Amino acid sequence: MMLEIYLVMTVAASAVSQEAEEPVSYMQCTEGYEYDPIKEVCKDIDECALVSDACKGGMKCINHYGGYLCLPQNAQIFVTNGDESSQPTDPIPQTPLNPTNPQTRTQSNHRGVAAGASQCLPGFTLDEQNYCHDVDECSQGLHTCNADQICYNTRGSYTCQCHPGYQKHGEQCVDRNECMLSHYCMHRCVNTAGSYYCECKDGYQLASNNHSCVDVNECDLTQSCQHQCFNLLGSYICQCDQGYELAPDSVSCVDIDECAFSSYMCQYVCINSPGGYSCICPEGYRLQRTRMCQDINECDTGHECREDEMCWNYYGGHRCYPQDPCLEPYVLTSENRCSCQSAGACRGLPQSIIYKYMSIHSERTVPADIFQIQATNIFSSAHYTFRIKAGNDGGEFFLRRFSSVGAMLVLTKSLEGPQELIVDLEMITQHTAMNYRSSSFLRLTIIVGPYPF
């Protein structure tokens, strides 16, 4: 189906009427028209030719007086002058003027004047056949135009016009500031002598029509960013890979020293590397996840203890202790327990000695409960006494009683490792009714690890 559209060119009549009046100045042209310095009239602007993408979506551009229309491609256009009959008719052929004799329509008048008075009107001259012809004052140098003006011959006279880009100011031609008028520049207009040109803001460039501005993709044109480039309208930004940060120039990337941020990045030692960091652990430890250090139990993974020795693991290492720690007159009666079998040989000595081992971190927070001692054989009428017999010369420990049959060994001073301490804890049992008194030792070996973890 063909879409038929009839345009009534009423504006055209207005534009034509201006040609018959006195020449108008450039400032009098309405929107959609521009001043013609040669004809000194306002002429229609062909937006379809000036704006390359005037119509979108496959529509075709139809120029119209003072504007333009966007119509479907299959639209059929009929142009009328506003008469009631709007149907298209065949154009009426016009007889062209004789280019060699522009006086065709007035030959009889001029010829009559020439024949009767042997002279022509001003601006015309008589030829050999007694015809009056127009005098070209411009080519014959008979004009009074200034040097900065252009002479245009007219019928019976001539006119002086300014060069394109200039306009008359009195009798002089002065530059027309197109930037003060309608210039179609999207961003900035720069006036020049007799003309103008368009400029775009930073990050944009002129389109092919020299009026519009389109974004410049700096990421495609240059490799300004050291790592990653992201284009923006009129600009761009740089970003760095993980582990790097932008330098003050906002283009270069510098490594982030994560180890300098905090001493808690790693539990032991932090090693910075380009774009990252890593944690390492001391000998006797292995890295747990990313930053923590876990003690390696050498007694489970492999050790050099003999068959008659017991492997004891502690924080950061291990030690070998004899499986039978008993010395005369004591004999091994159970694991780590040495008992005296002869009452006469053990007179004045503890009845039994129990060997225990424990490990604590270096620089442990104090006070801290570290070991509990308690009677195993409890008599209803017996009285129990607990004390530190040996190994507390520096006052590092305190024995706190928490019940009638038990006490807690308290660490009172922070200890730095690695070191080994042996503390003898004595328990005295007294039975008044039976007139019975005995003692036993708990020999506690405390190994302080080299690190606070």
pLDDT in tens, 308-322: 999 999 999 999 999
Phi and psi for 81 in degrees, rounded to 5?
Answer: -100, 15
Tokens 């001003």 label which residue? 122
Query: Alpha-carbon dihedral of residues 352, 356, 362, 363, nearest 10 degrees?
Result: -50
Continuous segment of H or E residues that includes residue 296: none
How do the domains of the chain map onto residue ranges? 3-80, 177-215, 218-255, 258-295, 309-448
CA angle 147, 153, 154 (to 5 degrees): 135
As a CATH number, domain 258-295 is 2.10.25
User: How large is the average pLDDT for residues 201-220?
Assistant: 93
Do 397 and 410 contact (CB within 8 A), yes or no?
A: yes
Exposed / middle / buried, residue 336 (Cβ in 10 Å: 0-12, 13-18, 19+): middle
Give the strand order in the sheet containing 419-431.
330-334, 337-340, 352-360, 436-448, 419-431, 382-390
Written as one string, the DSSP assignment of 129-142 is TS-EEE--HHHHT-
pLDDT in tens, 236-261: 999 999 999 999 999 999 999 999 99
Q: Is the pLDDT of residue 1 over 50?
A: no
pLDDT in tens, 280-339: 999 999 999 999 999 999 999 888 999 999 999 999 999 999 999 999 999 999 999 999
Q: Is the pLDDT of residue 181 over 90?
A: no
Highest CATH level, class, for 309-448 = mainly beta
pTM of the model: 0.53
Do 62 and 69 contact (CB within 8 A), yes or no?
A: yes
Nearby residues of 177 by Cβ (< 8 Å), 6 or more positions away: 191, 196
Q: What percent of the chain has pLDDT over 70?
A: 84
Same fold, 177-215 and 218-255: yes
User: How large is the average pLDDT for residues 391-413?
Assistant: 95
Highest CATH level, class, for 177-215 = mainly beta
Do 347 and 435 contact (CB within 8 A), yes or no?
A: no
Look up the CATH architecture of domain 218-255.
Answer: Ribbon (2.10)
Q: How far apart are CA 52 and CA 207, in angstroms?
A: 10
Nearby residues of 231 by Cβ (< 8 Å), 6 or more positions away: 215, 217, 218, 219, 220
Distances, alpha carbon 30 to alpha carbons 27, 42, 44, 163, 186, in Å: 8, 8, 10, 22, 20
Q: How many helices (H) and strands (E) does the chain have?
A: 7, 35
Continuous segment of H or E residues that includes residue 307: none
